[in-house]
Every structure is written in C-alpha cells, then in structure tokens.
Amino acid sequence: MSFATANAVSSAPPLDGLSPELREALKPRWSGFLKRAGVAVIIAVMLGVSYYPAEVDRWTFLITDADNMAVFIGDFLSPDFSDLDLFIQKMVETVQIALWGSVLSIAAGIPCALLSSNNIAPVWIVQPMRRLMDAARAINELVFAILFVAAVGLGPFAGVMALFIHNLGVISKLFSEAVEAIDPRPVEGIRATGASRLQQVIYGVIPQVLPLWSSFSLYRFETLVRSATVLGIVGAGGIGFTFYESFRAFQYDRAAAVIIVVVAVVSIIDIVSSQLRKRLI
C-alpha cells in the first residue's frame, strides 16, 4: 500500500462512528438495482419478440438498395422551387387548418377539462367525461380525417374537424391535470364568502391555471401544424396532398422543396411560440 493510500485510509472516518441514519444511507440498494434490471430485461425481451414482426431485419435494404438511395438523395439535394407560390399558398392553408382546429378544441376543451377534474366535478361526471376524452385522444387525426372526408367531402374543413376532435381529447387531459394541481386555499377562501360553484371556478381556479393553459395551447398549436401537413394525403386540405402527388409522380426534387417549406414554416412557428411560452410561465 502506498503512503498516500495509507494516509487516506487512516484519515477516513470509521464506519462504526457513523450515525444509524448515515450508515443506512450508505448501504447498497439492491432492491432498486434489481427493479431497474428487471425493467431492462423486460424491454429487451419485448424488442426481441417484435424484431421480426416489425421487419427490423430489413435494415440491410438501406445498404443493398444503394442505387435507389442514391436517386433519393440526389433529387432531394436539388430541390425544385419552380412552384414556390403554390407551396406557400398550401402551407398557409395548412397553418389555417391547424389554427381553427386549435381554437375550436381549446374552446370546447375548457369545459371538458373542468368536468374531468376530480376537484371540480363529482365522480359520476368525471369518469364518463374522461372515457369520452380518452376515445377522442386514442384515435389518430389521420383516421378522423378519413372519416370526415367521407362525411363532408374533400377539403380543409375535414382537416379542421379531424384536428378539432383529436386535439380536444389531448387538451382536456392537459388542462384537467393543471386544474387538479392547483392550490385549494384560494378556492376555499372564495367559497367562504358564499360564492357559487361557477364563481369559485372563475375567480379561484382559472387565474391559477391560465399561464399553464396558455403554454399548453401554444404547444398544441405547434403540434397541430405538423399534423396538418399530412392530412392532405387523404384529401383533407393543406400541403400534404401536394407532397403526396409529387412523391407519387417520382418528382423527388419537387417533394424536397415542399419539405423545405414545411420545415421552414414549422421552425418559425416553434421559435415564436417558444418565446411566447417563456413570457407566459
């Protein structure tokens, strides 16, 4: 043993002199390690079981089909902006679809969120409302778009309704969780003055959750803009149909230009909304 190591050992406090609390804290936590190891094993087994059903073994095609990949990359590196005016027009339409879907879902989501909160509504209202919102959230907006295209025809309105229904389930979930996390003391103080249930919500609940609600709304608007870009594939308006037609016609350079426009607009919206969220929270 070296001189430095001997000094370090001799200067270390003996374990016998430690308090029972510190000695307990220094003990290895085997139970926590075994739990984490068990979770890792379960995840590994699930990945192994789903390897072939998910056709992950086809990753070799990325290498063996190098000629096709070269065509993709070559065309995407030379985007065709000859129809830029059309792309911008369709992208603006996509943002408008997302805006209307967001506003409608927020307007309907506020009462739905309050009725889904355990500290606001009775359980016989909360549970059915939550299950209804679960159903709206569980079905993808693309599926809703297909349904509304069949119901109201091709066009942006089908996209608006698809985003509205799906986002209603998401917004109500986020809003209700914010309501259930409020400080109950302001509400109790307002109740002590003889205020009605509606007044308690307006003056005791809404002021506490409004910053979070605003932040959630901006975040969901960003998400809906991204979601709205693919709704056009099924005829629900927006730039998705333009991209789909370009890709189906093997016009990869034109499809690349569409992707660049989408990324640019979504990035601008993300930057602006991020600044707004910082000011609200």
What pLDDT digit, counting tens, does each position of 50-103 carry?
Answer: 888 887 777 777 666 666 667 667 767 778 888 888 888 889 999 999 999 999
Q: How confident is the model at residue 4 (pLDDT cuts 50, 70, 90)?
A: very low
Residue span of the structural domain in which 34 resides? 16-64
Q: Do residues 183 and 258 share a domain? A: yes
Q: Is residue 226 part of a domain?
A: yes
Closest CA to 258 of 89, 72, 68: 89
Q: How far apart are CA 31 and CA 39, in angstroms?
A: 12
Q: Do residues 247 and 146 share a domain? A: yes
Q: What number is the average pLDDT over the span 123-148?
A: 90
| Residue located via tokens 């369709």 | 90
- Give the pLDDT confidence of 214-257 residue by residue, as tens digits: 888 988 998 898 888 888 888 888 888 888 888 888 788 888 88
pLDDT at 279 over 80: no
Whole-angstrom CA distances from 177 to 114, 170, 171, 181 are 10, 11, 10, 6
pLDDT at 182 over 80: yes
Task: Name the domain count of the chain.
Answer: 2
Q: Do residues 174 and 143 share a domain? A: yes
| Residue located via tokens 């986020």 | 174
Q: Do residues 50 and 152 share a domain? A: no
Closest CA to 162 of 227, 66, 250, 70: 227
Q: Is residue 10 part of a domain?
A: no
Q: Do residues 49 and 144 share a domain? A: no
Q: How confident is the model at residue 105 (pLDDT cuts 50, 70, 90)?
A: very high
Q: Is residue 217 part of a domain?
A: yes
pLDDT at 37 over 80: yes
Q: Do residues 41 and 154 share a domain? A: no
Buried-exposed string 54-67: b where 16+ CB fall within 10 A, e elsewhere:
eeeeeeeeeeeeee
Q: Do residues 127 and 249 share a domain? A: yes
Q: Is residue 160 part of a domain?
A: yes
